[in-house]
Structure 1
């Protein structure tokens, strides 16, 4: 099967605490290859020079575990750490029971699909280092809790991550801004679904 290609995802962002991006406003087309983009940095921890606000839900103290169900829950109120309007049944079943270790800072590469692609085709293009964690997903969501501009696109196109579930099986977690909140879904790798052109892919 002809391998579908990924194209460079280029995003400009304003500087913000715990978030950094360096990008180039050009596009390069190279069939059957993954173009390395600028790194997107994200951290849930306050900067060393900044005092930690104990009432803030944006930071996770070092050495604490990340309990997925305490963060990924439907809540579109003004006080929500991240406005989530919908959690898919597959995500709830396979991922909300996960407990992950403290992740500190995370660095991603981002890509955008220039044509419809399956999970296997995307993974073949990404190669090694394609996996993310739920902490990674939450970190980026926390930077854009109300659909603000940032690394995650807020159009109708999905943002996808390859994450291992409770059983250790690799799955695809997708996040789409639904207008009033984030919609978080999941599907098994190898599902018949094809991700549309414009889908943004995150990998380490």
Structure 2
């Protein structure tokens, strides 16, 4: 009887260990999956962009300081120039940007911008849909941020090998993507239609007026 009693106790111990291991696995699965479930979009998919910092940048003239005029004329600002006296060192302007955006004349919009980081490769259409109606910015916003990092200094714009993108309407009123990349000698500025199949890489920084 003593032997039988000992065997029963050992069996119970094994069952407890198996049960505890099973509970531990369930707990680990819940811990890993819970944050992902909370961050999923309404359609059940994980969002491509995650919120980052909020930035403020204004071109309006300040008291006692000569700054930018109220009317923002794109061709007077976006010029290829890497000389020491350049207001912003720009080493390259893409043909599409020059054709579609250099003709724009704007007034400054909302100086408050939200930034997002692309956490998986995606295209402009999907990013714009995730950001919603307030994804649009202006060239004046782009230029304002460039002025703060005219020589590739650190700041809101990334100066590594990943791009910064803005959704901006061109001279014809069509929404497109303006992208900035610091190339070492200066900023490289391009543009593409929002419907292009170009895949933007992980880590791309997206600028939007976003939701307050």
Among 53, 57, 65, the alignment partner of 1:52 is 65
**How much has 1:65 moved relative to structure 2?**
1.1
**How much has 1:41 moved relative to structure 2?**
0.4
CA distance in 1, matches of 2:108, 2:142: 13
Question: In the alignment, does 2:111 pair up with 1:98?
Answer: no
After superposition, the C-alpha distances for 1:40-96 in whole angstroms (9 at most, x for unaligned) are: 001123543xx214xxxxx213xx311100000000011011000000000000000
Which consecutive segments of 4 or more residues in structure 1 shift more than 2 A? 28-38, 45-48
CA distance in 1, matches of 2:65, 2:55: 23
Distance 1:112 1:183, change over 3 A: same
Question: In the alignment, does 2:188 pair up with 1:173?
Answer: no
CA distance in 1, matches of 2:159, 2:206: 14
Instruction: Give 5+ residue unaligned stretches, structure 1.
Output: 1-27, 54-58
After superposition, the C-alpha distances for 1:118-166 in whole angstroms (9 at most, x for unaligned) are: 1111012111210000000000000000000000000010000000001
CA distance in 2, matches of 1:155, 1:146: 13
Equivalent position of 1:107 in the other structure: 112
Among 48, 55, 58, the alignment partner of 1:43 is 58
Aligned length: 167
Among 145, 149, 153, the alignment partner of 1:148 is 153
After superposition, the C-alpha distances for 1:7-49 in whole angstroms (9 at most, x for unaligned) are: xxxxxxxxxxxxxxxxxxxxx863434544442001123543x
**For residues 10-159 of structure 1, what are the structure 2 equivalents within 5 Å?**
30-31=39-40, 32-33=46-47, 35-48=50-63, 51-53=64-66, 59-61=67-69, 64-103=70-109, 106-159=111-164
Distance 1:111 1:36, change over 3 A: closer
Q: Secondary structure at the match of 1:86?
A: strand
Worse-superposed segment, 141-150 or 105-114: 105-114
After superposition, the C-alpha distances for 1:167-199 in whole angstroms (9 at most, x for unaligned) are: 110000000000010000000011010100010
Q: Which has the higher helix share?
A: 2
State the Cα RMSD in Å.
1.6
Instruction: Give 5+ residue unaligned stretches, structure 2.
Output: 1-34, 41-45
- C-alpha contact (below 8 Å) 2:108/2:141 kept by paired residues: no
Find the structure with the greater CA-based Rg.
2
